Amino acid sequence: MKISFLIHTIYGIGGTIRTTLNLAEELAGGHEIEIVSVFRHRDVPLFDIDPRITVVPLVDTRPNSPAREKDHPDHRTPAALFPRSEARYGEYSALTDRRVREHYAASDADVVIGTRPGLVAYTARFAPPGAVTIGQEHMSHNHHSEALREEMRPHLAALDAFVTVSEGDAAVWRARMPLPDTRVLAVPNSVPAPAVAPSDLSRPVVVAAGRLSREKQYEVLIRAFAKVVAVHPEWTLRICGAGAEKERLRRRVQKHLLSNHVLLMGPRSPIDPEWVKGSVAVSTSRHESFGMTLVEAMRNGLPVISTDCDYGPREIVRDGEDGILVPVGKADAVAGALLALIEDEGLRRKMGAAAARNSRRFDPAPVARRYADLFAELGAGSPARRARTATAPAVALASAAAAPPALAPAAPPAAPRPAPGRAFEPVADCVAEDDGSLTVTVVAPASAVLTHPGLRLVCVRTGGPDPAETRIYPFGPDGAATVPADDDFAEGQWLCAADHPGGARRTALLTRSVDQRGALGAERRLTPGAGVRHRVPYRRGPRHQLALRSWVRPVHAEAGDIRRSGSRLTLEGRVLGPAAPADGAELTLRRRGGPEEEIAFPAVRDGARGFRAVIHGEAPAARQLTAHDVWEVWLRCAPDRDPVRVARLLDDVVDKSDVFVYPDALTHKRRPLLLARRVLRRLLGREQRLVKVSLGYDGDNGLVLRLTDRPPG
């Protein structure tokens, strides 16, 4: 049987894409599967796609696409066959109308599944005669406007089945929009078993994940976490995801003085290695048709806290058993639930175990069986359905939009992605162990080590003085190679490859997952007085090649909390290695990319190895040369010691430049002037030039101070 999924784009990241891939991969075990992606906006999908699945992009909108279809004249003509009330109507066009119609006119699919309202309409119109047509509801009845629901009514009535992801939403659809000839039922989304070990629930980390949008109500979570930090300042909140609300959420974090406690991690794929770094998962959504992130967290052994919103969470979370449900929009209730799990380790572990156990009902196998049963009940692939013929689209609407407009000739749809070749290209999982070693295990092809005896893991340094510098480790019979904790890796980037026997051939080592949990305990492993050696494995590039980032510092100043008070920025940190802050210690700013210049501020010793220094924003602002000055931050432990660069290294975040964002200080740019000239400038309004002073990290995780001109007001 051939099953075709019609999706907005398979090249992005989001819940609909994830659940479509989960279901498609499970069905690919016994069926021919294609995913028709209306748009292709990047070269490579962000999610890994099973090679058994054929991807068919229809409209290529990549900025550097040879087809340049974003500028196609028909793509500038509004769609006539896509619902006008649909949220993405503005992205669709006469070109998408035609490409979808032409694809399915030549299709032999037995089942066509539309994954959003507008694509459900396309499915009803364009599916091949005889194909079973199914619409999926990944939002909910109440989420859609009345205008869209009315516009969708004839399309839904023409389907064989309409599938929601919760029983509650299915009941609402049946009650408010009776569809006599369409089966309306609920089938939950599926979440596969994680490729990483479950969380041990020992780290003081709360994790949230999802699109950064207003409906997720992260501002409620941030307010709640401020109450948690007031009692337990050692805990941090990590929010994984991308979206339009990112900058607004950053401002919220800064407003609540939580820059040292709330991290916006950006999109993470796969997400499982992020869940297992935490001990509690939380969702504060206003609406949630299902709750994919809740199931993902539970499958990784985390107890969950969720708002009791319509409709999915209450069908996923068993309140008091594997998680806690709280009222929508109530920061105090969220904070109370967080504190309950933070302060009661026994409860946290009991709920985490129940979460892992109960979430198995969302495994892809039983969910796919429910879809397969539905296909069979609707006669998909049967001789009777194959024999059906028609001379019109699957639904003929008595409206002007039913007749497609005449379109200018267009290029044919992009060809399906070719099946992967037979070249040997191993895929591995990598685990950063608690002792600092790395375990790299080949997981695909399953017979890699048996069919390639003598296979070796090779780590090659890139960009160093010796480009041939390598470290080599054999894969054992179990497919695993170990990189010992005490092996010497020079500071910099290292790429990993698989070396064939005799070194005759070397191929990139791709990754399925990278478990970085062990990197979070880096400081606990350090030998007193021995400096810093730290490695973090990660996925690099669009093909997700395994890579390592190594830092080696004989003496290191690790940046800690950063706080703002007026135009002053206070930095706390600690020195690691054969040195410690002493009397006369100084924090030094060094200008980058301009005339050599330094500005020194006294650093106060704080405990055995800690230091604290206050940066007065007026000092670098008075020496500003460009609209975007950058100063590196160094620490001189004593007057007779060489300064060391202040950086933040000892965790799992490879690039901190966009994750740790601290409050900006504002000051005025004042230059030394004669009194009369200063008075004149003040009268003319030229004296009060504002300068934004901010601390952050560069691409090497070194701490830098940035000055940016900001007009008054």
> Burial level of 698, CB count in 10 A (0-12/13-18/19+)?
middle
Cα gap 654→116, rounded to integer Å: 36
Strand partners for 668: 690
Does residue 687 register a pLDDT over 70? no
Strands of the 236-240 sheet, one edge to the other: 262-266, 236-240, 205-209, 280-283, 304-307, 323-326
- For residue range 268-303, list pLDDT tens digits in order: 989 999 999 999 999 999 999 999 999 999 999 999
Cβ–Cβ under 8 Å, residues 98 and 410: yes
59 Cβ contact list (under 8 Å, min separation 6):
38, 39, 40, 69, 72, 75, 95, 96, 99
- For residue range 475-532, list pLDDT tens digits in order: 999 999 999 999 999 999 999 999 987 666 889 999 999 999 999 989 889 888 889 9
DSSP state of 193: P
Binned at pLDDT 50, 70 and 90, residue 406 comes out as: very low
Please, what is the average pLDDT of the chain? Answer: 90
The pLDDT assigned to 651 comes to: 96
The pLDDT assigned to 391 comes to: 42
- For residue range 533-575, list pLDDT tens digits in order: 999 999 999 889 999 999 999 999 999 999 999 999 999 999 9
* Three-state DSSP class for residue 647: strand
Binned at pLDDT 50, 70 and 90, residue 684 comes out as: low
Look at 35-49, 639-653, 656-670, 672-686 and tell me which has the smallest mean pLDDT: 672-686
What is the percentage of the chain residues whose pLDDT exceeds 90? 80
159 closest CA partner among 143, 137, 141: 137
The pLDDT assigned to 682 comes to: 53
Does residue 357 register a pLDDT over 70? yes
Cα gap 364→642, rounded to integer Å: 58
- For residue range 211-269, list pLDDT tens digits in order: 999 999 999 999 999 999 999 999 999 999 999 999 999 999 999 999 999 999 999 98
Residue 461 phi, psi dihedral angles, 5° rounding: -75, 135
589 Cβ contact list (under 8 Å, min separation 6):
598, 599, 600, 601, 615, 620, 631, 632, 633, 634, 705
* Three-state DSSP class for residue 234: coil
Residue 554 phi, psi dihedral angles, 5° rounding: -60, -40
- Conformation bin of residue 201: beta by default, left when phi > 0, alpha when psi is -120 to 50: left
- Conformation bin of residue 118: beta by default, left when phi > 0, alpha when psi is -120 to 50: alpha
How far, CA to CA in Å, does 621 sit from each of 668, 692, 698, 707?
A: 7, 9, 20, 7
17 Cβ contact list (under 8 Å, min separation 6):
7, 9, 10, 47
Does residue 35 register a pLDDT over 80? yes
Higher pLDDT, 418 or 582: 582
Does residue 326 register a pLDDT over 70? yes
Binned at pLDDT 50, 70 and 90, residue 412 comes out as: very low
β 427-432/323-326 pair status: unpaired
| Location of structure tokens 């119109």 | 125
The pLDDT assigned to 590 comes to: 97
- pTM to 2 decimals? 0.87
Binned at pLDDT 50, 70 and 90, residue 710 comes out as: confident
The pLDDT assigned to 676 comes to: 52
Does residue 173 register a pLDDT over 50? yes
- Is the previous residue joined to 92 through a cis bond, with omega within 30 degrees of 0? no
Binned at pLDDT 50, 70 and 90, residue 387 comes out as: confident
How far, CA to CA in Å, does 352 sit from each of 204, 237, 328?
A: 15, 18, 23
The pLDDT assigned to 650 comes to: 96
- For residue range 58-112, list pLDDT tens digits in order: 999 999 888 889 999 999 999 999 999 999 999 999 999 999 999 999 999 999 9
Domains of the chain, earliest start first: 2-190+370-402 (3.40.50.2000), 205-362 (3.40.50.2000), 427-553 (2.60.40), 556-710 (no CATH)
Does residue 621 register a pLDDT over 80? yes
- For residue range 136-151, list pLDDT tens digits in order: 999 999 999 999 999 9
Cα gap 240→208, rounded to integer Å: 6
Strand partners for 217: none
122 Cβ contact list (under 8 Å, min separation 6):
6, 81, 82, 100, 114
What is the percentage of the chain residues whose pLDDT exceeds 70? 91
From the CB of residue 432, how many other CB atoms can be counted at a distance below 10 Å? 27
How far, CA to CA in Å, does 232 sit from each of 214, 225, 305, 339?
A: 27, 10, 18, 9
Does residue 126 register a pLDDT over 80? yes
Cβ–Cβ under 8 Å, residues 155 and 121: yes
Q: Is the dihedral of CA 430, 433, 439, 444 positive or negative?
A: negative
End-to-end CA distance of the chain: 65
Higher pLDDT, 681 or 291: 291
Look at 133-137, 470-474, 505-509, 695-699 and tell me which has the smallest mean pLDDT: 505-509
Interval 406-432 mean pLDDT: 56
Rg of the chain's alpha carbons, rounded to an integer? Answer: 29
652 closest CA partner among 506, 453, 477, 436: 436
Interval 604-612 mean pLDDT: 95
Cβ–Cβ under 8 Å, residues 25 and 50: yes
Cα gap 99→77, rounded to integer Å: 14
